[in-house]
């Protein structure tokens, strides 16, 4: 059990560019979450998967955001045409089952300049 | 929809003081309840959990009891230490239709 791994840890990008983040959950964890956290705020839900099925996507999430979990293992989060307001920490978490605790990765800090 | 309301911070205490951070929730059905902690510069870590009414979660001297009648899950510690300084998040989840939902967090600072 190596924990939830996120890559990259830091990303600086110019406004308008596309970025993609990767999350490797704990092995055999069926549920995977993506959150966004800005300074001084709690994690804001973005989307979550049960195996490869995306169960819900936040209404706050614009069409520029898309997430996939193609084989029910790792997941990617893509942001197209980044804006300065996208600057935040993007957190991934996984859980063995829906009613068990989630384990978080260290996050990817995105800075859009 | 489901939601979590936490007491507003920041909270500043002296070492060995008693800590309470209030958390109430709104949910349909019977969610599990969690407290997560985020130390400066680190990721979120699970502190404790409770999966059904009247359960008490405990860890590192912290406790919280799942109160269905008051829809609450208040975090308590009898004697805080400087090392407890962190942001504490209350969350609910569990069940096939529940996403993990967080409160806004409470910053705790413990002074020596």
Q: Which tens digits make up the pLDDT trace of B24-68? A: 999 887 889 999 999 988 889 999 999 999 999 999 999 999 999
- B32 close contact with A: CB closer than 8 A: yes
Count Cα atoms within 13 angstroms, Cβ side, for B72.
Answer: 12
Candidates A25, A30, A98, A105: best to mutate against B (most CBs of B within 10 A) is A98
> What is the residue-wise DSSP string for A5-45?
EEE-SEEEE-TT--EEEEEEPPTT--EEEEEEE-TTSPPEE
pLDDT digits (tens, 9 = 90+) for A26-55: 998 999 999 999 988 889 999 999 999 998
pLDDT digits (tens, 9 = 90+) for B69-104: 999 999 999 999 999 999 999 999 865 566 788 999
- A41 close contact with B: CB closer than 8 A: yes
The more confident residue out of A99 and B79 is B79
Q: Are A33 and A92 in contact (CB under 8 A)?
A: yes
The H helix count followed by the E strand count for chain B is 0, 12
* CA distance, residue A58 to nearest chain B CA (Å): 11
Gyration radius of chain A's alpha carbons: 13
Kindly list the residues from chain B whose CB atom is less than 8 angstroms away from the CB atom of residue A102.
46, 93, 100
Of B96, B102, B105, nearest to A98 by CB-CB distance is B96
* CA distance, residue A99 to nearest chain B CA (Å): 3
CA gap A103, A84 in Å, rounded: 28
What are φ and ψ of residue B111, in 5° steps?
Answer: -100, 145
Give the DSSP letter of residue B100: P
Q: Report whether pLDDT(A104) > 80.
A: yes
- Is A48's CB within 8 Å of B99's CB? yes
What are φ and ψ of residue B8, in 5° steps?
Answer: -70, 145
* CA distance, residue A43 to nearest chain B CA (Å): 6
Q: Report whether pLDDT(A73) > 80.
A: yes
Of A42, A99, A107, nearest to B32 by CB-CB distance is A99
């Amino acid at each position: 059990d190596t924990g939830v791994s996120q890559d990259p840890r830091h990303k600086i990008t110019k406004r308008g560019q596309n970025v993609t983040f990767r999350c490797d959950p704990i092995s055999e964890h069926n549920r995977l979450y993506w959150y966004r956290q800005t300074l001084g705020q709690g994690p804001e839900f973005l989307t979550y998967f049960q195996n490869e099925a995306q169960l819900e996507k936040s209404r706050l999430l614009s069409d520029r955001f898309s997430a996939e979990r193609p084989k029910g293992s790792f997941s990617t989060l893509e942001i197209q045409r980044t804006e300065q307001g996208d600057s935040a920490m993007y957190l991934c978490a996984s859980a063995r089952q829906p009613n068990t605790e989630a384990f978080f990765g260290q996050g990817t800090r995105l800075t859009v300049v | 929809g489901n939601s979590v309301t936490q007491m507003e911070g920041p909270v500043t205490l002296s070492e060995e003081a008693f800590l309470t951070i209030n958390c109430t929730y709104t949910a349909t059905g019977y969610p599990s309840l969690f407290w997560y902690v985020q130390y400066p510069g680190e990721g979120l870590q699970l502190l404790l959990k409770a999966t059904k009414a009247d359960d008490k979660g405990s860890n590192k001297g912290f406790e919280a009891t799942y109160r269905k009648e008051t829809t609450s899950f208040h975090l308590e510690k009898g004697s805080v230490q400087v090392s407890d300084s962190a942001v504490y998040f209350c969350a609910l989840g569990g069940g096939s239709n529940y996403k993990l939902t967080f409160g806004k967090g409470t910053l705790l600072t413990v002074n020596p």
